[in-house]
Structure 1
Amino acid sequence: MRIAVRAFNDNPGSPVLVFGNALGTRMTLWSSVAARLTDDFQIYVSDLPGHTVPGPEPLAEAAEPPTIDQLASGLVESLAAEGVTSFAYCGVSISGAIGLSLARSHPDALTGLVACATAEKFGTPDSWEERIGEVRTSGTRGLVDDTADRWFAAGFLGEDIATGHLVLADLALIDDDAYIGAATALKSYDLTGLLSAITTPTLFMAGAQDSGCTPEAMQAMADQVEGSRFVTIPDSAHLPMVEHPDIVADHIQEFCDGF
């Protein structure tokens, strides 16, 4: 299943860096980080199916929701159609899972991986069914209040910064079926104990106040991948690229300069 990708800038000949969005966000999620890296990279942003723009294969035509492995393969196919066969990937949350799957199944295409605020396994099938039921009943807009507490560190939304509120507005407007399809993919995703097979240079990035993908859990993931690096972004939760794009961009730049 191919998914939508878009060029963020025009810097031909530079190393390719691809960003992936979180469940319930749009492909612009990484824009503030990407904008800081345009001098050194050709940047693409990718989209979870149906989250921002119609993909090459409309959701209505899909026989069943894709798996995380299928989304990873779809990303490789979509980039190949753009002439990109080698790239570094930065994914957050579900897209971090896509990145880990890329590193396991498509290592020849992947020059480096930034796995941000992600996990070997997210919740349980029952917890995802509960979330899916909430969306079927109240739509994605019904998730906004609880999600705000998970996505952002305490006090961030009270500051005079519009970005966090725009991201939450995106969540309220995401197509319900698109959200459910991606959530269904997470029901069966489980890489527990399988990360030691990854040989791609990898940076694990955690938000210091992320209650779901905690720094401790992400450090444990990094410990499984030989030669990987681990950083914690201070005063941030699940979406550090929104809260501290400057710090996140600096870590990505430093990491990519090393391979």
Structure 2
Amino acid sequence: MSTAWNDADLERWMDACREDRELSALATATTVTFGIRAGEQNALFGFSSGQLVEPTSAADFELVAAPADWSRFFQAVPPPAYQNFFGMLMRVPGAHVEGSELAMVQHAHLVRRVLELGRAAISGRPATPAAAHPVRSKADLEPGYVRISVRGEPVEIFYEAAGEGQDVLLLHTAGADSRQYHDLMADTSLTSRCRLIAFDLPGHGRSDLLPGVPPGGYALTTDQYATTVLAVIDALGLTAPIVSGSSMGGEICLELAHRAPDVVGGVIACEASDRVPGRKVSWAKHPLVNESVFVPEWVYGLMAPQSPEHYRRKVWWGYSQGGFGTFAGDIDFYSGDWDGRDRVGEIDTARCPVVMMTGEYDYSCTPEMSEATARKISGAVFWTMPDLGHFPMAENPPLFADHFAKALDHLGRAAPGPGE
């Protein structure tokens, strides 16, 4: 019989859960029992008031997958989509939740940590570089506000800039803000060659709320997003800036290349394709689900397991701070209103060069999805970024910087000269 773990593995796993301070903190005031089922194997985990206890009741839910799939999951460095159970649910046939799905999403943070400890108990922790990742200084960031008009109403937009040279406008991901780019903007190899500018969309981070939108009523559309970015470009006085973004920011890059090729000097569309179905989820704004816990867990698994824990935790923490319904409203665009299938093929890369890059571990917008979109755009360039996931600029800024520099080099060669 094929097995995903043996008795010794399970004993180490349970011991690790009992001793883990993070798991104890996450489980505060929690009473739940859940199982991890692989064929005939079923590991049960019971919690009561922050402590792992002997289960006294049936599981509230079970995470189910084939033994071979759990074996892939528990590898020290799992293959793409197997780094997180949400990835398996989306991309691995047969992976599913039995029992209360509501209870599962309410306790997604416990599930993730228990599975992390299981991976370490079964396969050991992967080797990590000996050198610590330096804390990059934000001292050179230049903050400011500009005023734009949205639906005829003034909105103050917060932005930060660093560096000199070609203007590069950076777009944050759904439900987040421009802090995602702080470490990239402190990279002197980039700021010595270009001026990096990142801003918070209305209703995000430090920018004003959108006028006329009641709490919980926000839903981003393609037109609103594109016109907002163009308004910021105008308010900042940018001339033919390169625009780059990941996820929903990558999608709108493609829209801008089609809509405003004479305003934008080129785009670097990361983690983007002409259509990304399957990411809208009612749990992101459910009254019985803690949004500040579920939303970061929903996106955490999209990162590569090789990305430094320090950076991955910053992404999680940032997503725990979004306003009510902000993430869900952005996903209304990312996995709903956005559909570029009828127009990405019309993008003229002679007027607006296009580079597309997608992380190997992105199971939301996979490299295959991005590459298929790039093939529809004559002259577009695409490559996969190994050992990166859905948030490349934030989950591993030093590694992403190399890809970003390569993209800037390509756009520099592809950009039309004066008078062309």
The equivalent residue for 1:54 is 207
The AA in structure 1 aligned to 2:247 is S
- In 1, Cα distance between the equivalents of 2:359 and 2:344? 20
- In 2, Cα distance between the equivalents of 1:135 and 1:248? 37
Tell me: CA distance 1:143–1:129, structure 2 relative to 1, closer, same or farther (3 Å).
Answer: closer
- In 2, Cα distance between the equivalents of 1:209 and 1:65? 28
Tell whether 2:384 aligns with 1:235.
Answer: no
Please tell me whether the aligned partners of residues 361 and 387 of structure 2 are also in contact (alpha carbons under 8 angstroms): yes
- In 2, Cα distance between the equivalents of 1:7 and 1:184? 27
Q: Give runs of aligned pairs for residues 22-37 of structure 1, distance below 5 A.
A: 22-36=173-187, 37=190
- In 2, Cα distance between the equivalents of 1:251 and 1:155? 16
Structure with the largest fraction of helix: 1
Deviation at 1:178, TM superposition (A): 2.3
Please tell me whether the aligned partners of residues 250 and 269 of structure 2 are also in contact (alpha carbons under 8 angstroms): yes
Tell whether 2:341 aligns with 1:192.
Answer: yes
Deviation at 1:98, TM superposition (A): 1.4
Aligned counterpart for 2:232 among listed residues 69, 73, 78:
78
The equivalent residue for 1:153 is 304
Tell whether 2:239 aligns with 1:90.
Answer: no
Please tell me whether the aligned partners of residues 284 and 291 of structure 2 are also in contact (alpha carbons under 8 angstroms): no
Tell me: CA distance 1:131–1:23, structure 2 relative to 1, closer, same or farther (3 Å).
Answer: farther
Deviates more, 1:247-256 or 1:229-238: 247-256
RMSD over aligned CA atoms reads 2.3
Deviation at 1:209, TM superposition (A): 1.4
Deviation at 1:246, TM superposition (A): 2.9
Tell me: CA distance 1:83–1:155, structure 2 relative to 1, closer, same or farther (3 Å).
Answer: closer
- In 2, Cα distance between the equivalents of 1:242 and 1:7? 16
The equivalent residue for 1:170 is 318
Q: TM-score, normalised by structure 2?
A: 0.55
Cα deviations by residue, 1:186-217 (Å, 9 ceiling, x for unpaired): 32211124211112211110111111111111
- In 2, Cα distance between the equivalents of 1:31 and 1:71? 22
- In 2, Cα distance between the equivalents of 1:131 and 1:104? 33
Please tell me whether the aligned partners of residues 207 and 235 of structure 1 are also in contact (alpha carbons under 8 angstroms): yes
- In 2, Cα distance between the equivalents of 1:89 and 1:155? 27
Please tell me whether the aligned partners of residues 25 and 174 of structure 1 are also in contact (alpha carbons under 8 angstroms): yes
The AA in structure 1 aligned to 2:160 is A
The AA in structure 1 aligned to 2:252 is I
- In 1, Cα distance between the equivalents of 2:401 and 2:287? 33
Tell me: CA distance 1:71–1:146, structure 2 relative to 1, closer, same or farther (3 Å).
Answer: closer
Q: TM-score, normalised by structure 1?
A: 0.86
The equivalent residue for 1:4 is 157
Deviates more, 1:107-116 or 1:79-88: 79-88
Tell whether 2:286 aligns with 1:138.
Answer: no
- In 2, Cα distance between the equivalents of 1:98 and 1:244? 23
Cα deviations by residue, 1:154-202 (Å, 9 ceiling, x for unpaired): 354xx5x422101111111110132233222332211124211112211
SS in structure 1 at match of 2:168: strand
Please tell me whether the aligned partners of residues 3 and 47 of structure 1 are also in contact (alpha carbons under 8 angstroms): no
Structure with the largest fraction of strand: 2
Cα deviations by residue, 1:1-58 (Å, 9 ceiling, x for unpaired): 36735131253xx211011111132212122223321111122102233221123xx2
Count of aligned pairs: 249
The equivalent residue for 1:217 is 369
Tell me: CA distance 1:134–1:207, structure 2 relative to 1, closer, same or farther (3 Å).
Answer: farther
Deviates more, 1:227-236 or 1:59-68: 59-68
The structure with higher relative contact order (CA 8 Å, sep 6+) is 1
Deviation at 1:66, TM superposition (A): 3.7
Tell me: CA distance 1:251–1:145, structure 2 relative to 1, closer, same or farther (3 Å).
Answer: closer
Tell me: CA distance 1:61–1:44, structure 2 relative to 1, closer, same or farther (3 Å).
Answer: same
Deviation at 1:134, TM superposition (A): 3.5
Deviation at 1:102, TM superposition (A): 0.8
Q: Give runs of aligned pairs for residues 115-134 of structure 1, distance below 5 A.
A: 115-123=269-277, 128=280, 130-134=282-286
Tell whether 2:142 aligns with 1:17.
Answer: no
Structure 2: tracts of 5 or more residues without a match? 1-149, 416-420
The AA in structure 2 aligned to 1:179 is F
Deviation at 1:135, TM superposition (A): 7.3
SS in structure 2 at match of 1:61: coil
Deviation at 1:129, TM superposition (A): 5.2
Deviates more, 1:241-250 or 1:39-48: 241-250
- In 2, Cα distance between the equivalents of 1:83 and 1:210? 34
The equivalent residue for 2:219 is 65
